[in-house]
Amino acid sequence: MTTNISFLLNGDEISYDIKDHWTLLHLLREEMGLIGTKEGCGNGECGACTVIVDKLAVNSCLYLAVEADGKTIETIEGLASTEGSLHPLQQSFVDNGGIQCGFCTPGMIMSSKALLDENPGADREEIKHALAGNICRCTGYIQIFESVEAAKEPVVENRGGQNE
């Protein structure tokens, strides 16, 4: 039950022999060593494992790796530029206290990115709606909202740029 899949991962073309029952989270973390994507529940209830598949935020713990075939996948590892500078959203989470223990952070940032890519001007209510599936136990969310709001402008300017 091995299948070969090809997909675009953070801009790189990947071809991988996978088992049909692997989740995308398993493929990323356990097979490919991309530990940035976190598992907080394994059941779709916390958002720590959020990655972007064809522009949509999904829980990689419930998403089968076989279904990544032909898709464009973005994970937290792909956000910073190749020179290492942080993506505006990452920088904004750093600057605005959006990160405490950091376990929710990769998922939180990926959900935020999917939101701002689609809706660069998202307001507080839209941010809350989009992040409702990402649980954070540390921050009480306020500084996370502030982080996303503060990142709004640069992300728009950056569209089509290196980080896209």
Partner 1 sequence: MKAFKYLSPTTVEEAIAFHGRHSETAKYIGGGTDVIVKVKEGWMEPDYLISLKKIEEMSELHKNDATGELSIGAMVTHATLEKSLMIRNEYPIIYDAVSNIGSLQVRNVGTIGGNLINAVPSADGAIPLIALDGVALLHGPDGERSVEVKDLFIAPYKTVLKPREILKKITIPPQEPHTGSAYIKFGRRAAMELPLIGIGVLLTLDDDDTCAKARICLGVAAPTPMRAFDAENFLVGKKIDENILIEAGKIAADESKVRDSIRGKAWHRKEMIRVHVRRMGLKCLNMIKDNY
Partner 2 sequence: MSKSNNELSSEFSVVGKRIPKLDAAQKAMGRAEYIQDIKLPGMLFGKILYSKYAHANIVKIDTSKAVAFPGVHAVLTGEDVPKKMKMGLIKDNPPIKKGKVCSFRDEVAAVAAISPEIAKKALGLIEIEYEELEGIFDPEKAMEKNSPLVHDHLKSNVLKMPWNIHYGDVEKAEKESAFVVEDRFTTTWVTHCCMGTSGAVALFDASENLTIYTNTQIPSLAHKDFLEALKAMGLENKRVRVIKPVIGGGFGSKLDTYAYEHIAILLAYKCHKPVKIVFDRVEEFKATSTRQPTVTYIKQGCDKNGKLTFRNMRMVLDNGGHTSWGATTPSVMLMPISSLYRVENVKYNAKCVYTNNTYSQAMRGYGNPQATFAIESSMDILAEKAGIDRIEFRRINKNRSGDETPQGLKITSCGLEECIDAVKEELKFDGKNEKGVGTGIASLIHVGGGARIYGSDGCGAILKMDDYGKVDIFTGGTDMGQGLDNITAQIVAEELGLLAEDINVVHSDTDICPWDVGAHASRSTFVAGNAALGAAKKVKKKIQDFASKLFDVPCEKIELKDKLVFVPEDKEKSMTIGKLLRKAHFRPGGTMLMAEHFYDPDNQNMGKELKGNMSMTYSFGAHGAKVKVDEETGKVEVLEYVAAHDVGRAINPLLLEGQVYGGVVMGLGYALTEEVTIKDGKIMNANFRDYKLFTAKDAVKIKAPVIETIDKDGPFGAKGIGEPGCVPTAPAIANAIYDAVGVRIKDLPITPEKVLAALKEKNG
Ligand X SMILES: Cc1cc2nc3c(=O)[nH]c(=O)nc-3n(C[C@H](O)[C@H](O)[C@H](O)COP(=O)(O)OP(=O)(O)OC[C@H]3O[C@@H](n4cnc5c(N)ncnc54)[C@H](O)[C@@H]3O)c2cc1C
- Contacts to ligand X by CB under 6 A: 44-45
Q: How far is CA 94 from CA 41, 61, 100, 147, in A?
A: 25, 26, 9, 8
Question: Could you tell me which of 66, 31, 36 has the C-alpha nearest to residue 48?
Answer: 36
Judged by CB, which is closer to ligand FES: 49, or 68? Answer: 49
Residue 3's binding partner out of partner 2, partner 1, ligand FES, none, with CB under 5 to 8 Å set by partner kind: partner 1
At a CB cut-off of 8 Å and minimum separation 6, what does 67 contact?
A: 24
Q: What residues line the site for partner 2 (CB under 8 A)?
A: 34-43, 45-46, 48, 75-77, 79-80, 86, 90-91, 93-97, 99-106, 109, 127-129, 131-146
Judged by CB, which is closer to partner 2: 63, or 103? Answer: 103
Q: What is the largest CA-CA distance in the chain?
A: 46
106 binds ligand FES (CB under 6 A): no
Is residue 117 helix, strand or coil?
A: helix
Q: What residues line the site for partner 1 (CB under 8 A)?
A: 1, 3, 19-23, 42-45, 47, 50, 56-59, 62-64, 66-67, 111, 129-130, 132-135
24 binds ligand FES (CB under 6 A): no
> Rounded to an integer, what distance in angstroms lies between the CA atom of residue 157 and that of residue 129?
24
Sort 93 into a burial class: Cβ within 10 Å, 0-12 / 13-18 / 19+. Answer: buried
From the list 3-11, 69-77, 97-105, 146-154, the region that binds ligand FES by CB under 6 A is 97-105
41 binds ligand FES (CB under 6 A): yes
